[in-house]
Amino acid sequence: MRRRLIITFLAPALILYLGFVVLPAVRAFYYSFFQTSGFKDQAHWVGFGNYVALAGDPIFWLTVGNMLLILFVGGIAVFGFAFLFTILINSGLWGKKLFRALIFMPNIIAVVGLSTFWSFVFMPRYGLLTNFLNSIGLSGLAVIPWTAPEHLFWSMLVGLVWISAGFFTILVLAGADKIPTDMYDAARIEGATNRQMFRFITLPMIWDVIMITLILWVIEAIRMMEYPYAFGGPNIDQNLYTPAIYLFIMGFGQRQPVYELGYATAIGVAMFVFTALAVLVIGALTRRERVEF
């Protein structure tokens, strides 16, 4: 390949990427050292002031706590389902493609549609869950307000897991499909159970896939905004705040006229740092010999 072709082919992508992703990201770091409302007022240089304030802001730590819950509790559930579906679908079910398509389907629907559906599922008194529990005689459980503050986050997480599990099932399933089938045949002849085959063949063979999907999940979980935000309705409850939602509320105002652009940007920088750290940690933890075949 000639140099000229390489440059012509790379330049447009690089220019757009540098101009509209990298440069804004760098500027975000710069803005985070200022205090400004964005209303044409003079921005004050506050140095690390926004970060100091952030460190002492209980709401910020609440959002970090929620982020970690999504990351770990949500993550375990998402990957648990993804592996479960991979095992089940690959255990020789008829209609594999249909199931795969249906499990993935929520990922193509507008988030508002998904979140209002789930709000109606969990709604007290009129909700699907309450009606269902009543109809099977569990009226004790039916009276629990699933969207009350102490349960709200978990109700949100159920919907979130449901959507994300679809996405990650597809990834894990595709990885598993690349494993030569004769390995399973051989194992079956040896009398291995489904679980053993998953543990000793599937898992090691798709280790690299798992690492990549984990990184994708971490990125998703840390920047999570759309689903919890839409689930929260017009005046979102703080139990649902994620760092990204907090950033949005601090920077772009809700019903409360809070306009803190510098502070909001500092939250964004913190999110970036979390992502970088998490990716490094996963990289270190999952460093294993790759299985080549």
Partner 1 sequence: MLKAHVIRRSWKTALAYLIVGGWSLFAVLMILWIIIASLKTTRSLFGAPWTLPSAPAFSNYVKVWVSNRFDDYFLNSILVVSASVLVLLLVAVPAAYVLSRGKFLGRGAILNFFIFGMGVPVPLLFIPLVVLTTELGVIDTLMGLSIVYVSVSLPFTIYVLQGFFSSLPAELESAAVIDGCSDWQVFWHVMLPLAAPGAATVAILNFVALWNEYQLSLILISSPENRTLSLGIYSLITSMQYSGGNWPGLFAGVTMVMLPTIALYIFLSERMISGITMGGVK
Partner 2 sequence: MISKAHKTLSAVALASALFASTTAAHAVELTFWSMWNEPEPQAAALKTIMDAYTNANPDTTFKVVWNGRGNQTKLRAALQAGTPVDFMDQDGDELAGGLQKQGQALALDEALGTDFKELLLPGAYDLYAKDGKHFQVPYIYNTVNFWYNKDLLTEAGATVPATWTEFLAMCETVKSKTGKHALVVEGTDAAYAALPFSHLVERQLGPKALIKVFEDRTGDSWLDPAVLDSAKKAVSLWDSCIAGDARGFQYPAGQQTVALGASMAELVGSWLPTELADSAGPDFPWGAFNFPEVEGGKGKRTDLQVALLSMVVLKDAPHPKEAAAFLKYLVSEDAQKILVEQGGVGVTRKGVAWPALLADAFTAAENASALTNIYGGIGIDYADFYTKTFLPEQSNMFLGQKSPEDFVKLMAEATKKYWEGK
Q: Tell me which residues touch partner 2 (CB under 8 A).
A: 37-41, 57-59, 119, 122-126, 143, 145-152, 232-235, 237-239, 249, 252-260
- Give the three-class secondary structure for 35: strand
Report what 166 binds from partner 1, partner 2, none; CB cut-off 5-8 Å by kind. partner 1
Residues in a beta bridge with 34: 45
What's the chain's Rg over C-alpha atoms? 23
Other CB atoms within a 10 A radius of the CB of residue 64 amount to 20
Query: Of partner 1, partner 2, none, which one sits near residue 161, judging by CB under 5 to 8 A according to partner kind?
Result: none
Is the CB of 122 or the CB of 217 nearer to partner 2? Answer: 122
Which of partner 1, partner 2, none does residue 180 bind (CB under 5 to 8 Å by kind)?
A: none
Q: Would you say 59 or 128 has its CB closer to partner 1?
A: 128
Least Cβ distance, residue 159 to partner 1 (angstroms): 10
Name the residue nearer to partner 1 (CB basis): 115 or 153: 115
Main-chain phi, psi angles of 110, to 5 degrees: -55, 135
Q: Which is nearer to partner 2, 100 or 151 (CB)?
A: 151
- Signed CA dihedral, 125, 129, 134, 139: sign only: negative
Q: How far apart are CA 148 and CA 150, in angstroms?
A: 6
Task: Give which of partner 1, partner 2, none residue 78 binds (C-beta under 5 to 8 Å, depending on kind).
Answer: none
By a kind-dependent CB cut-off of 5 to 8 A, residue 41 interacts, out of partner 2, partner 1, none, with partner 2
Q: At what angle do helices 75-89 and 207-222 cross, to 10 degrees?
A: 140
CB of 123 to partner 2, least distance (A): 5
> Which residue number, 153 or 263, has a Cβ lying nearer to partner 1?
263
Q: In terms of C-beta density within 10 A (0-12 exposed, 13-18 middle, 19 or more buried), how is residue 60 classed?
A: buried
CB of 20 to partner 2, least distance (A): 17
Shorter beta-carbon distance to partner 2: residue 57 or 208: 57
| Nearest-approach distance from CB 173 to partner 1, in angstroms | 8
Residue 45's binding partner among partner 2, partner 1, none (Cβ under 5 to 8 angstroms by kind) is: none
Q: What φ, ψ does residue 290 adopt, rounded to 5°?
A: -80, 140
Minimum distance from CB of 109 to partner 1 (Å)? Answer: 6
Query: 147 or 213: whose CB is closer to partner 1?
Result: 213
Residue-wise DSSP of 120-187: HHH-TTTSHHHHHHHHTT-HHHHTS-TTSHHHHHHHHHHHHHHHHHHHHHHHHHHHHHTS-HHHHHHH
CB of 152 to partner 2, least distance (A): 6
Least Cβ distance, residue 41 to partner 2 (angstroms): 6
- Other Cβ atoms within 10 Å of 34 Cβ, number: 19
Q: Which DSSP string do the residues of 263-283 spell out, in sequence order? A: HHHHHHHHHHHHHHHHHHHHH
Residue 10: contacted member of partner 1, partner 2, none (CB under 5 to 8 Å, by partner type): partner 1
286 vs 207: CA distance, rounded Å? 8
Residue (72 or 132) nearer to partner 1, CB: 132
Q: What is the nearest approach in angstroms of partner 2 to the Cβ of residue 157?
A: 15
Two structure tokens written together for 139: 């009226």
